[in-house]
Copies of this chain bind each other. A is one copy, B any other.
Amino acid sequence: MNKQCFTFILAASLTVGAAWAQVEKSAVKDDFKPSELNQPGQEYPQVNSQGYVRFRIKAPQADSVRVSLGLGGRGGTKLTKDPEGFFAGTTEGPMDEGFHYYHLNVDGGTFNDPGTLNYYGSIRWESGIEIPAHDQDFYQLKSVPHGHVQQILFPSKSTGTSRRAFVYTPAGYEKGNKRYPVLYLQHGWGEDETAWSNQGRANLIMDNLIADGKIEPFIIVMTYGMTNEVKMGKIREFKIEPFQTVLVDELIPYVDATFKTLASRDKRAMAGLSMGGMETRTITLNKPDVFGYYALLSGGVYSLEDLKDKTKPKLVFLSAGSKEKPDGVRNAATALKTAGYNSVSYVSEGTAHEFLTWRRSLYQMAPLLFK
């Protein structure tokens, strides 16, 4: 395993997700609205049209409440107590468009914001907030036919457990005998099999692409990549074999036996974000006859050397956010293309190592699969 595949993973802690400095403090617009991820009836947190976030937390006897969201290197956003016992405050600048994880520090302890829904990241359920993106239409819940997201529990002899996966089946899947290609789609470090549906909105992105006639329907399978058995700093110690066994020898046969799949290499893709990209890269190179399409989303690159003397992939898709130093992705795709591979790169403008990069990557990648 070479070093290249870790580049984007380690970048996670370096990219801040904030688009500071364009707006003068005095020019903060007073059009704050409750975040669309708030729990029912909750007024805070709020987001304005520029991407500033305003928090309000009840803790009348607390001395200090901080929010991890904001200027990362300087400890996020410090809230100040008002006479009613609420700690309130606004980020110093606008946040990047899209989804962000965060949490509170209340008198030295880590808690979630009671105003918002929680999302699994950092090996815990974290608070989430959504800054409406200018291109958010593609991942919105619309009045179109919707696929289902099925929670399955599949038997795994190698781990001695019933393991969970989520399976997106496109609208109309239940009718007739049509069979579908399958994309195996992996989350990143600290996340799990819930990430692509919850934070990623993969099902809504697919529903919209299908309704718009931009892709032929396919199935997506999302399971836990066993990535979180190692701590952030020790990711190099991660061993791929246990997950590769679960995925290739247990999950794929279960899915092919249970769902109406096209069970061949040319109709099977693997993609992953961040550390899920590292998994994708390693497993596709170990098992070039199992998967025909490879995609790394902020998750490294393939070199010519990697692919030499192996069954040729039908597509290599590489993506990153523009704030992640995406030249590596662009250059790798160009090198592969020059050497005769079907390779495509995509750079998400104005985003960092976060979920809007990956939602957009799925949206760009889906029409290229299974051609």
Contacts and interface: CB of A to CB of B under 8 A. Distances in A.
Chain A contact residues (Cβ within 8 angstroms of B): what range?
Answer: 35 or more
Contact of A106 (B107, B152, B155): B107
A311 interface: no
A119 to B, nearest CB: 11
A228 interface: yes
A151 B153 contact: no
Contact of A39 (B63, B104, B111, B125): B125
Contact of A60 (B40, B58, B109, B174): B109
Q: Which of A117, A124, A154, A197 neighbours the largest number of chain B CB atoms within 10 Å of its CB?
A: A124
Q: Which of A118, A123, A146 neighbours the largest number of chain B CB atoms within 10 Å of its CB?
A: A146
Contacts of A109: 57-60, 62, 106, 114
Contact of A118 (B104, B125, B141, B143): B125
Nearest to A173: B258
Contacts of A154: 146
Contacts of A203: 151
A243 interface: no
A293 to B, nearest CB: 25
Interface string A133-168: 000000001110010111111110000001000010
A114 B105 CA distance: 12
A112 interface: yes
Q: Give the 6 A-B CB pairs with smallest separation, nearest first.
A: A59-B109, A61-B107, A60-B108, A146-B153, A62-B107, A111-B111
